[in-house]
Amino acid sequence: MRRLLLLVTLLPLVVPPLVLPPLPAVADEAAPAALDGALNAAPADAWPMARGCPAGTGRSATTLRLPLAERWHRGFEKTAFGAVPVIADGTIYLGDLDGTFYAMAIDTGATRWSFKADAAGFPSAAAVSLDPALPLVVVGDDTGVVRAFDRATGTPVWHYETQGEISGGPTLLAGANGGRVLVGSQDASLSCLQLADGTLLWKHSIADQIRCSPTVAGSAEGDRVFLAGCDGKLHVIDVESGDEKAAVPIDGPTGTTPAAAADRVFFGTEGGGFFAIDFQKAEVAWRSQAAVNGQSYRSSAVIAGDLVIVGSRGKAVEAFCRADGKRRWRHPMRGKVDASPIVTATEGGREVAIVADSAGKIAALDVTTGETAWEFDAGGGFSAGAAVAAGHVVIASDDGTVWCFSSPDG
């Protein structure tokens, strides 16, 4: 079994830097984060990419009714999962660390099709195109190959090769000239591909590995891509050209995906700093420190109203005020929280953050107070977060089990 230590090398620059040579929307995944403060979210019936939408907010338009009940779980022998599931049209798409990529029915967990990669594994999430003219699912592997499959049949449509592991899931964008795929690689490059056939449109390189998913948000000058890099910088890149517009220094490397809201992006680092970067001004708006000294952030953040919520390796979930970075609450967990939380509404009008830890606990926390609204002990630990769509919550564990929850009568 290929158990990959996905972020163990993300300690302060122990990996030698790699130096390389130098839209009308047609689907929900296309819309960038708005400057007026409106928040992007995944549609109610799909979770099309790792953080739900290009802006990386981790939000869903689905409404859940608590308490959730286990709908099914399915164990896979001699393997593990390290990625967030993605969901569309009642199908879960998920690869394991031993190189099998699955399409599974969300109502039963049954396999609809599978693909086996030779000498490769799938540490990152896939991304699903919601454009009916391009019904593809795109995923990268740990050898640097990006593949697109027909969603219905699993037939390979195209592939593209990088020179490093794909750790962060692709981000899909729609546009007047066809859909695009943004994908980062540990070869320190960000590639922009044509969704239809995988043709390279542009490539941008930084000074060290890229482990996050690319985040996309609108700016006054056009749409921008945000990369929080292992080179200790937040990179701001033009979506159309691939040209870098700014690079804001942070306290060290990170592999977390930024969450964009209004004119800021939010993310934590290996150094234990949690940042809000004003990308219009290309400067740090505020920085907070982890509550436990020496504990890093490997969880991507989620936006919840005036809060930003993130998991900590200090065995807790923390909520910061978006405006000034003040810590509003801290909820202790049994294990480290590397899995990224997601936020959805519940019947009754309140929102909950769904999060899992390395000790196998899954919890729904009230976003306002941090109090537990529902919890479940799954046994095996989680290094990747959940997906939610059509009233279902799906999450995959380090011990090779996929879990699905829904309302008791769902």
pLDDT digits (tens, 9 = 90+) for 100-149: 999 999 999 999 999 999 999 999 999 999 999 999 999 999 999 999 99
**Residue found by looking up tokens 């969450």 in the block:** 259
Residue 20 lies in a domain: no
Nearest to 260 by CA among 217, 214, 211: 217
- Is 126 a domain residue? yes
Tokens standing for 68?
A: 């959730």
In a domain, 7, yes or no: no
Strand partners, 219: 222
pTM of the model: 0.91
pLDDT digits (tens, 9 = 90+) for 260-269: 999 999 999 9
Yes or no: say if 159 and 111 are a contact pair by the CB < 8 Å rule: no
Of the candidates 158, 156, 154, 159, the one whose C-alpha atom is nearest the C-alpha of residue 144 is 159
Confirm whether 23 is domain-assigned: no
Residue 10 lies in a domain: no
Confidence at residue 293, expressed as pLDDT on a 0 to 100 scale: 74
Residue 409: pLDDT above 90? no
Residue 19 has pLDDT above 80, yes or no: no
Is residue 125 a contact partner of residue 85, using CB atoms and an 8 Å limit? yes
User: Domain count of the chain?
Assistant: 1
- Tell me the pLDDT band of 34, cut-offs 50, 70 and 90: low
Confidence at residue 7, expressed as pLDDT on a 0 to 100 scale: 37
Where residue 20 falls (left for φ over 0; alpha for ψ -120 to 50; beta otherwise) is beta
Model pLDDT, residue 2: 45
Q: Is residue 43 part of a domain?
A: yes
Asked whether residue 78 is assigned to any structural domain, the reply reads yes
Please write the tens of the pLDDT for every residue from 173-206: 987 778 999 999 999 999 999 999 999 999 999 9
For residue 43, pLDDT over 90 is answered with yes
Q: Residue 180: beta bridge partners?
A: 173, 194
358-369 b/e (C-beta count within 10 Å ≥ 16 → b) = bbbbbbbbbbbe
Domain extent at residue 220 = 28-406
Q: CA angle, corner 341, sides to 308 and 120, nearest 5? A: 130
Model confidence at 410, pLDDT cuts 50, 70, 90, reads low
Sign of CA dihedral 263, 86, 386, 357: negative
Neighbours of 70 (CB within 10 A): 12
CATH number where 255 lies = 2.130.10.10
Q: Is residue 4 part of a domain?
A: no
Mean pLDDT of the chain: 90
More confident residue, 185 or 37: 185
Q: Is the pLDDT of residue 88 over 80?
A: yes
